Structure 1
Amino acid sequence: MHQTPVSFSVPQRILHWAVALLVFFNLLFPDGMGRWAHLFFSGEPVPADVVASANIHAYVGIAVLVLALIRLALRLIQGVPADPEDEPAIFRLLSKVAHWTFYLLFIAMPLAGMAGYYLGSGAAAEIHGGPMKVLMWALIVAHVGAVAVHQFYWKTGILKRMTTG
């Protein structure tokens, strides 16, 4: 059995920020995939430039999936820092639920996107770009808010665990 780390390992931190950047990229710039989906599911021809733009979105999503699986493996092998001692129990529970929901989305969202794009599943595409996207945004807002509360209200220094260690 291994000791509980005091901060995340360097590979965990790099993967965290890489996944965050890739997720933000796809959330903020979904235009090519949105245009592809509109044309494809309407039965209209899809121009090559739209396919190329959609491919970028797809490749970034696949990268999120691969990096998230590596991140999950590292989490299970190396462990994660303990929750701050003064954090109320309900917030520790919410933190665990949120983090595991992130992992679920990091896996399910790219898979749904791939099913929509590569297999032509309209239902999968709709779930990917609808409820999953909304849930991802909600989790990001909650995550950033929770870090801010820890950092500035409770003053736990939790942000350091995912930045400088």
Structure 2
Amino acid sequence: MASATSFSLSQKLLHWVMAAFIFYNLLFADGMEHTIHAIEKGNQPDAGDLFWANVHAYLGIAVAVLAIIRLALRFTHGVPAEPAEEPAIAQIGAKIAHAALYVAFFLMPALGVAKYYFGNETMGDLHSGPMKVVLWALIGVHVAGVLVHQFFWRTNLIRRMA
């Protein structure tokens, strides 16, 4: 069960595993891009590119599955209360940002699957274009919020997920 000040160990582990998978996929999508371009040109993808494309796809699908588990844990284990020092408007912003992150955890893999497995160009363009930018922005907002808590409001929010 999550304590009043911290998430459960399973919630922390899922958070950091998902973060690693998401950063990997955002930073290292070259194999997927090369594979898609080869297929679109009617060529056989390079075996190495195909391997990394599949890693990209499987990690993306894993993010969606792990997000389901995280939501289940959120409902069964709960979450720590917002720090008292956090203004009400910031609490609302945090709820919106977290909800948007969860939407991205499902939408990005769904769009990627639509492109990679079903050849839907529009979904692929959304996945690798605007949604990628949105996900980076959400991550930036998330990290900025943690830093504001840590260094401005001095709530030591980092310990909840560390």
Which position in structure 1 is the counterpart of 2:76?
A: 77
The answer to whether the 8 Å contact 2:114/2:123 transfers is: yes
Which position in structure 1 is the counterpart of 2:38?
A: 39
Equivalences for 1:16-95 in 2 at 5 Å?
16-95=15-94
Identical counterparts, % of pairs:
49
The answer to whether the 8 Å contact 2:2/2:79 transfers is: no
- How many residue pairs get aligned? The number is 162
User: What is the TM-score when the length of structure 2 is the normalising length?
Assistant: 0.93
Write the deviation string for residues 116-142 of structure 1: whole angstroms up to 9, x where unpaired: 101111111111111111011001111
> How far apart, CA to CA, are the structure 2 residues paired with 1:161 and 1:90?
21
> How far apart, CA to CA, are the structure 1 residues paired with 2:2 and 2:139?
29
Superposed CA RMSD: 1.7
Which range is displaced more, 45-54 or 29-38? 45-54
Which range is displaced more, 95-104 or 83-92? 83-92
Runs (5+) with no aligned partner, structure 2: none
Per the alignment, in what secondary structure is the counterpart of residue 156 of structure 1?
coil
Runs (5+) with no aligned partner, structure 1: none
Which range is displaced more, 17-26 or 62-71? 62-71
Write the deviation string for residues 68-100 of structure 1: whole angstroms up to 9, x where unpaired: 110111111111111111211111111001101
The answer to whether the 8 Å contact 1:109/1:128 transfers is: yes
The residue type paired with residue 156 of structure 1 is T
> How far apart, CA to CA, are the structure 2 residues paired with 1:40 and 1:130?
19
Which range is displaced more, 2-11 or 45-54? 2-11
Deviation at 1:3, TM superposition (A): 9.0
Per the alignment, in what secondary structure is the counterpart of residue 20 of structure 2?
helix
Equivalences for 1:149-164 in 2 at 5 Å?
149-163=148-162
> How far apart, CA to CA, are the structure 1 residues paired with 2:118 and 2:30?
20
Which range is displaced more, 13-22 or 76-85? 76-85
The answer to whether the 8 Å contact 1:12/1:74 transfers is: yes
Write the deviation string for residues 12-61 of structure 1: whole angstroms up to 9, x where unpaired: 00000000011001011010111122222344432333221211111111
User: What is the TM-score when the length of structure 1 is the normalising length?
Assistant: 0.92
> How far apart, CA to CA, are the structure 2 residues paired with 1:139 and 1:32?
24
